[in-house]
């Protein structure tokens, strides 16, 4: 899950998802393992490789020896590698970080309402100039709501961009939140129901199904301040300086951040100790890593990890989302009843059926609050064999 300000910057042309897990604990100092998604191992260290570094390794140094990490030189590349290609060079990375920090300071010094209006204005500018993502968003909206007019599609897409702008502005104010004032921004729609869920699964754990919906960064941050610190497994940003800043921001609320290469079987141990694992399941999954289920009537490749884990462990899956109140900085956490899990003799069919059930929950929330979803993501990018490309 990328922070909103970085998400907005990437969509503007510099361009989630991993899972989240939270350990129910009164103190943010407690650590616990995290998320499960069947991913290939990824490199996570900040490294620099010059052209000479691509030569064969030499045991004694010399021409074939690789330079030490952190060195720079002509023609080199420097990044926090995340498995998605190389990042910017050190000079460009520092310039990006400098501009990023200036924007954060600017937004954080303004009253939150003023900052949100400024964020909306910036998002509208990006919406106008970023034709590529505008085309993706309108394509997605035609798939989801074919009975609605082009004017309505444009209205929803514009509202989705405004939501991103508000998220970016709010993210710059997150450090001002604490356990005493978090309720001014985020409340539970049914706080007693959530407390009951926590009590019932204090010893056996549970899953939470969510999405890149509303202010998803605040969703995790607020849980930590309420005494349920989130354990987040994430993909490193390409700029290591911004990545480290975001890492520190998340930790300030008690969130424990784990890179994907560090996550594994510890997830099951966390669940058995009463952990609550939060998994966003609304992003496109590469071929071989998901199953095709219908989203708005069109097959969408969806990660089946949550279904497999729920079937294997027997832990329940509760849907939960952060819903904004109008254009204000106030939000409420909406938690639904557990999703029924299919268990028959046909395990393959059960994985598909349960993934479909989770997707129906997401589809219902997106239909109710279409402006809350990230429409510029290529959700139907991976196609079934023989199916034509959508984007």
Predicted confidence (pLDDT) per residue in 131-185, tens digit: 999 999 999 999 999 999 999 999 999 999 999 999 999 999 999 999 999 999 9
C-alpha–C-alpha distance, residues 359 and 58, integer Å: 52
Predicted confidence (pLDDT) per residue in 252-306, tens digit: 887 766 665 555 566 777 777 777 778 889 999 988 879 999 999 999 999 998 8
Please tell me the least confidently modeled range out of 21-35, 271-285, 298-312, 354-368: 21-35
Helix then strand count (H, E) for the chain reads 11, 12
Predicted confidence (pLDDT) per residue in 297-335, tens digit: 999 999 998 899 899 989 999 999 999 999 999 999 999
Answer yes or no: is pLDDT of 385 > 50: yes
Residues 6+ apart with CB under 8 A from 87: 77, 78, 79, 80, 81, 93, 238, 239, 240
Residues 6+ apart with CB under 8 A from 339: 209, 316, 317, 318, 319, 354, 357, 358, 361
Q: Report pTM.
A: 0.78
């Amino acid at each position: 899950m990328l922070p909103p300000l970085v998400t907005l910057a990437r969509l503007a042309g510099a361009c989630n998802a991993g899972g989240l897990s939270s350990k129910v604990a009164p103190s943010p100092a407690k650590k616990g393992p995290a998320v499960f998604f069947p991913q290939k191992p990824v490199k996570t260290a900040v490294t620099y490789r010059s052209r000479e570094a691509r030569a064969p390794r030499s045991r004694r140094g010399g021409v074939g020896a690789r330079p030490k990490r952190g060195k720079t030189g002509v023609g080199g590349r420097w990044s926090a590698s995340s498995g998605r290609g190389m990042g910017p060079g050190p000079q460009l990375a520092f310039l990006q970080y400098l501009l990023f920090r200036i924007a954060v300071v600017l937004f954080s010094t303004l009253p939150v309402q003023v900052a949100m209006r400024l964020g909306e204005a910036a998002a509208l500018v990006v919406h106008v100039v970023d034709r590529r993502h505008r085309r993706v968003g309108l394509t997605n909206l035609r798939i989801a709501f074919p009975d609605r007019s082009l004017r309505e599609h444009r209205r929803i897409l514009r509202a989705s961009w405004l939501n991103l702008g508000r998220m970016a502005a709010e993210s710059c104010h997150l450090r001002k939140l604490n356990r005493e004032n978090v309720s001014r921004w985020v409340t539970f729609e049914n706080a007693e129901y959530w407390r009951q869920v926590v009590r019932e699964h204090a010893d056996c754990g549970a899953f939470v199904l969510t999405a890149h919906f509303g202010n998803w960064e605040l969703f995790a941050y607020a849980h930590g301040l309420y005494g349920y610190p989130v354990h987040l497994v994430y993909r490193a940003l390409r700029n290591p300086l911004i990545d480290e800043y975001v890492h520190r921001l998340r930790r300030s609320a008690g969130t424990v951040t784990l890179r994907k290469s560090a996550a594994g079987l510890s997830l099951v141990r966390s669940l058995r100790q009463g952990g609550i694992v939060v998994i966003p399941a609304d992003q496109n999954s590469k071929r071989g890593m998901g199953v095709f289920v219908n989203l708005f009537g069109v097959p969408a490749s969806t990660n089946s990890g949550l279904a497999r884990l729920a079937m294997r462990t027997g832990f329940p899956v509760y849907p939960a989302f952060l819903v904004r109140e109008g254009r204000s900085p106030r939000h409420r956490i909406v938690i639904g009843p557990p999703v029924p899990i299919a268990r028959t003799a046909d395990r393959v069919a059960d994985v598909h059926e349960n993934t479909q059930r989770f997707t129906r929950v997401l589809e219902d929330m997106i239909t109710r609050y279409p402006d809350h979803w990230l429409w510029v993501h290529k959700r139907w990018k991976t196609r079934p064999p023989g199916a034509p490309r959508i984007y």
